[in-house]
Chains A and B, each alone.
Chain A
């Protein structure tokens, strides 16, 4: 259904494909899950969809999937998405009872399915990251501050369960000076057995606005890169980290 393909068109139909094959089509129809301001009027489709919760959720999901470490929790967004999903579920039930054309109902259903998937995957990806780096997450203030309250509870329990498991399977069988979960031995000066996320991983990032990034650490050779809006770069996560948090750069 390609009607016009102007840049800021109201009628373009674009398909985005994510790295795991999910294809999402921006349809010409009204977005099912609306923006926070519900009066649509003759608002520009582009600007509306760029602030709609679905778009925000998509962005949060994409970033979370691509980033090697856990990102700040988007609590408000999650709550709003939950509410809207419930609302649409109810609507669909009504449509079916009122005998709406099954094809149209299935379109609404598909839209709902996709949004539900996004929300579930977002939360799941975060939990998996917590699981993967559980000891680190609770040790690092920065990481811990990014968790929701429930995630903190989850992380704490994970750590307790795994530590217990280690103790009972391995550590109890070793000599006392080697019984630490986090340290190789009493001699270790710091916790040297805690896996940490690799912040040097390369990621693909796209800039939303003009931003300047330092390619190297402070004090090292001062080389910068300037990213303009829409530019796509393949750089180390560490470099883009700050910009991602401030929303200036997205991961894809």
Chain B
């Protein structure tokens, strides 16, 4: 693989590969169906490809091995014609050449925010895989490397190392140390080199998994360089960034920096002085209905406020709920008291937000800024993006993320709607003229959040629900009704963070937390694990990847570890307890 420094040269290579003579296949695109960033990135790149008349076929996938269903024989065999493949938001952290069994005629291009990138994918000698990895990306990485990654990558690839397993290497090191005493000093020097290499490799992977710049933003930059950017694409970049923000995938600094960049784009593309009203011949002023523009404002951390009412949104949004403990009677009283102190009538707050008294809406920010710090809510407002369209449509990027994620995560088992079908729904909902689809997604998101609150309250208040071990805590969602909402990776992850926040408020020591919940497949349980929020200065990324796999292997039950986050795994229902026990040993 060649480590590309610039987005444009990545695209140039992709284009060249896709249009090479003799290619019988259109460009095959495989976007992840696990997050909104993937859909945004897909829309941006297809806009660019279409403008260059490059034919493509796109198949949404939800796990590593699904690609074989659609990619055809050219992927693995050597006798077929060349095939060019683009992966969106997956693939970085596993050795693609190995895992996908790439044949000599396949070329895989990867745009993925997952980090760290597997060293073999990064090597200049790997001609099958090309990963988009920019200077900015390296500079902004939260957990900085202080060695030359490219050298390490090439070294690793050439050695043909197939495992980046920390423990096996430690064992090897020990063996070498034992032998060392018998060898001459020359060998010792070589051993030193090998030792250093192994140490660096360990350090590279030790930091766990985390995320780099959102793919949607990266590809928007590409569209900007190529002068093919539009307001629509800019909005998609805003949504991509907000997706990472909502799902706790980046630090505040990175978020602020990215917001400033996007604000510059928003300013320079005429969103500020867009014509919003037209004056007719007789002097009547009319709002221009087709006008659509992006603005940035301070938004409160209240999810789906515009689809909900103020009271419920405050009750259920993780930020406030965990601070005020709104699952308890006491908490609800506190909330009501707070609203009263701010001078908002309770009945007013329970009106659907768009119909709420304008006076109240105007005073909101002022009052919140005044009273919330008392409750420890210091950063209630954050800089965010809004899209204004037509006469009355005003939607925030965060709400879009909630809605679309809920749409993605409403696929059912066999017989019901599949993940690919939901991907199509989510894809449609992202365009301007499908507001009702988006709204149905938002309503679904509200249901999910209520489930989080219900189960969260149960877990916190009922003793013994959250099992606490030395290395981590874990909890299982037993309720079959709420399992329908929580049995999906992102929803379950949100639940984990909710519990983490609630426990922190209780004064408990911070530990990684795992949640288990019945998935759509009968008899299977989904387990996700989180280590901490980058926003709050977590030093390590998510460390569960390898540990999950090993613990699952040892528990001797069926497991599925092919989802796009290594901290997500699906197990047999019966194996969960033994999995947790073995996991403790691995961490």
Q: Is the CB of B21 within 8 A of A106?
A: no
- B421 proximal to A (CB < 8 A): no
Residue of A at shortest CB range from B54? A102
CB of A106 to closest CB in B, whole Å: 5
Chain B: residues with Cβ within 8 Å of the partner, total of: 4
Q: Is the CB of A103 within 8 A of B21?
A: no
Cα(A106)–Cα(B21), bound, Å: 16
With a cutoff of 8 Å between Cβ atoms, the chain B residues found around residue A106 in the complex are 53
- B52 proximal to A (CB < 8 A): yes
Cα(A62)–Cα(B52), bound, Å: 32
With a cutoff of 8 Å between Cβ atoms, the chain A residues found around residue B271 in the complex are none
Q: Is the CB of B52 within 8 A of A99?
A: no
With a cutoff of 8 Å between Cβ atoms, the chain B residues found around residue A99 in the complex are 21
Cα(A106)–Cα(B50), bound, Å: 12
- B19 proximal to A (CB < 8 A): yes
CB of A220 to closest CB in B, whole Å: 42
Residues of B at the A interface (CB closer than 8 Å) are 19, 21, 52-53
Cα(A247)–Cα(B53), bound, Å: 40
CB of B454 to closest CB in A, whole Å: 54
With a cutoff of 8 Å between Cβ atoms, the chain A residues found around residue B53 in the complex are 102-103, 106
Cα(A102)–Cα(B23), bound, Å: 14
A-B pairs with beta carbons under 8 A, tally: 6
With a cutoff of 8 Å between Cβ atoms, the chain A residues found around residue B52 in the complex are 103
Cα(A99)–Cα(B21), bound, Å: 8
CB of B21 to closest CB in A, whole Å: 7
Q: Would you call the interface of chain A mostly helix, strand, loop, or mixed?
A: helix
Q: Would you call the interface of chain B mostly helix, strand, loop, or mixed?
A: loop
Identify which of B19, B52, B53 gathers the most chain A CB atoms within 10 Å of its CB.
B53
With a cutoff of 8 Å between Cβ atoms, the chain B residues found around residue A103 in the complex are 52-53
CB of A92 to closest CB in B, whole Å: 14
Residue of A at shortest CB range from B53? A106
Cα(A99)–Cα(B16), bound, Å: 13
With a cutoff of 8 Å between Cβ atoms, the chain A residues found around residue B19 in the complex are 102
- A18-74 contacts to B, CB under 8 A, are none
CB of B82 to closest CB in A, whole Å: 16
Residue of A at shortest CB range from B21? A99
With a cutoff of 8 Å between Cβ atoms, the chain B residues found around residue A102 in the complex are 19, 53
CB of A105 to closest CB in B, whole Å: 9
Listed by A's residue number, 6 A-B pairs whose Cβ atoms lie within 8 Å are: A99-B21, A102-B19, A102-B53, A103-B52, A103-B53, A106-B53
CB of B12 to closest CB in A, whole Å: 14
Contact with B along A84-115 (1 / 0, CB 8 A): 00000000000000010011001000000000
Cα(A103)–Cα(B19), bound, Å: 11
Cα(A102)–Cα(B53), bound, Å: 8
CB of B102 to closest CB in A, whole Å: 26
CB of B11 to closest CB in A, whole Å: 15
The 3 nearest A-B residue pairs measured at CB: A106-B53, A102-B53, A103-B53
CB of A99 to closest CB in B, whole Å: 7
Cα(A113)–Cα(B53), bound, Å: 16
Cα(A102)–Cα(B52), bound, Å: 9
Residue of B at shortest CB range from A106? B53
Residue of B at shortest CB range from A99? B21
Residue of A at shortest CB range from B52? A103
CB of A102 to closest CB in B, whole Å: 6
CB of A137 to closest CB in B, whole Å: 44
CB of B253 to closest CB in A, whole Å: 42
CB of A196 to closest CB in B, whole Å: 45
Residue of A at shortest CB range from B19? A102
Cα(A102)–Cα(B21), bound, Å: 11
CB of B302 to closest CB in A, whole Å: 46
Cα(A99)–Cα(B20), bound, Å: 10
Cα(A103)–Cα(B50), bound, Å: 11
Cα(A106)–Cα(B53), bound, Å: 8
CB of B56 to closest CB in A, whole Å: 14
Cα(A103)–Cα(B49), bound, Å: 12
Residue of A at shortest CB range from B51? A103
Cα(A99)–Cα(B53), bound, Å: 15
